[in-house]
Copies of this chain bind each other. A is one copy, B any other.
Amino acid sequence: MSDAGVSPPARRLRAGIVGGGRGAFIGSVHRIAAELDGQAQLVAGAMSSHPEIARASAAAWFLERAYTSYDEMAAVEAAAENGIDFVIIATPNHLHYPVAREFLAAGIHVICDKPLALTVAEGEELVRLVEAGTSLFALTHNYTGYPAVRQAREMVRGGQLGEIRKVMVEYTQDWLLEPLETRGNRQAAWRTDPARAGLSGCVGDIGTHAQNLLEFVTDRHIEALCADLSTFVAGRRLDDDANILLRLRGGAKGTLICSQIACGEENRLSIRVYGSRAGLEWHQQEPNTLFNKPAGGAWTLLRTGQGYLSQSARAASRLPGGHPEGYLEAFANIYRAFIEDVRRVGHGESPLRDYPGVRDGLRGLRFIAQSVASSQAGSVWLPL
């Protein structure tokens, strides 16, 4: 990072990306989300370890600098006068840790896909590195960027639900209904490979999103879990389905259900929270409505973009109500807060950290590890 003397926001920030080369859906998502508000622009990338793909991917995005190794990129960018302000890590899971470590060591801010790393030990090391250093670290648990999710959290925090008693969170898909990993699908291959995905398939990939969303909205931690993980597709090496009983701090109970073989489901992420005074419900696939269920009264449909929402929910919308916003805009909200912090730190101000961070990532890794352990032990309750 350079330009420390330039008073922001005199220019768009410069971003680099590791991974996300051609064909990787998530690469484009990061680029769009990072650039959506016109506050940053991708200028450098190590988008593939294949030199040709790396070059072609960088050219397709008009990047100024293309690398074939991330450590070279970290070194060169850190030294350059017009080097990147932050790096985006959009690789398969097993590379999150080494890449993050490298850029943190180079003093470059990091925004990284989830899960944080392959193992709890790696996660703990990243927590140590981030907390010992000065670089910012964000984890793209993107679903927390939705305006309605912000609204839900505010309502829980404001006590509108009363005592929280029951929670239901779900993330179901069907993209692994068939053994795609044996049929040439690259994402399926690494997602079901313990060496690249980690201890778990379904819980690691989407269960952690559900766990993070639940903790974000309810503003409290899962205290214990009792899990039943399954692998329904013959020959698959990791779980593709899980049913998990939950206990939360403060006495609430609940369930977390995730699946990648739920035939007909796309990205059915939903959350319900029931308190003593009201309930809430939200569905990612129709994200602009939040159902509010006051005790004894009629349900209300809280709609994003409306003036009656909380300040944080309103700030997370770019359009007036009725013009639907979706996944990319929510993802961009994570970037918006991160970029604001990059500017603040550049100014010498302290960061606001209004996005998931390295400790949220560590919780996700523990959630994975304990889910797997509980299930292997025959569905016993384990602390988290």
Q: How far is the CB of A333 from chain B (nearest CB, A)?
A: 13
Q: Indicate if the CB atoms of A243 and B255 lie closer than 8 Å.
A: yes
Q: Interface with B: A214-222, A260-268, A352-360, which one?
A: A260-268
Chain B residues with Cβ below 8 Å from A41 are 41
Chain B residues with CB under 8 Å of A276's CB are 177, 232, 263
Min distance, Cβ A282 to any Cβ of chain B, angstroms:
12
Cβ of A364 to closest chain B Cβ, rounded Å: 20
CA distance A161 to B264 in the complex (A): 11
Chain B residues near A268 (CB-CB < 8 A):
322
Report which of B32, B263, B300 forms a contact with A279, defined as CB distance below 8 A. Answer: B263
A178 to B216, CA, bound (A): 27
Q: Given A306-B298, A320-B266, are A32 and B36 also a contact pair (CB < 8 Å)?
A: yes
With both beta carbons as reference points, the residue of chain B lying nearest to A28 in the complex is identified as B318
Closest CB in chain B relative to A288 CB, distance in Å: 8
> Which one of A123-131, A192-200, A289-297 contacts B?
A289-297
**Residue A347 CB within 8 A of the other chain:** no
Q: Which of A68-76, A108-116, A166-174 contacts B (4 or more CB under 8 A)?
A: A166-174
Q: Does A245 contact B (CB under 8 A)?
A: yes
Q: Give complex CA distance A326, B287 in Å.
A: 10
Chain B hits for A232, CB < 8 A: 165-166, 276
B293:A263 contact, CB within 8 angstroms = yes
Kindly state the separation between the CA atoms of A292 and B298 in the bound complex, as whole angstroms: 10
Near B by CB (< 8 A), chain A positions 61-83 give: 61-62
A61 → B minimal CB distance (Å):
6
Is there contact, CB below 8 Å, between A381 and B378?
Answer: yes
Query: Chain A interface (Cβ within 8 Å of chain B)?
Result: 9-12, 25, 28-29, 31-32, 35-38, 41-42, 61-62, 161, 165-166, 168, 173-175, 177, 226, 228, 230, 232, 241, 243, 245, 253-255, 257, 259, 261-268, 272, 274-279, 284-288, 291-303, 305-308, 318-329, 378-379, 381
Q: Which 8 A-B pairs have the closest CB atoms?
A: A264-B293, A266-B322, A267-B322, A324-B326, A323-B327, A264-B279, A263-B279, A298-B300
List 25 A-B pairs, Cβ < 8 Å: A25-B319, A28-B318, A29-B319, A41-B41, A165-B261, A166-B259, A174-B295, A226-B228, A228-B253, A255-B255, A259-B274, A262-B279, A265-B279, A266-B323, A267-B322, A285-B324, A296-B308, A298-B301, A298-B306, A299-B300, A300-B301, A301-B301, A324-B324, A324-B326, A328-B329
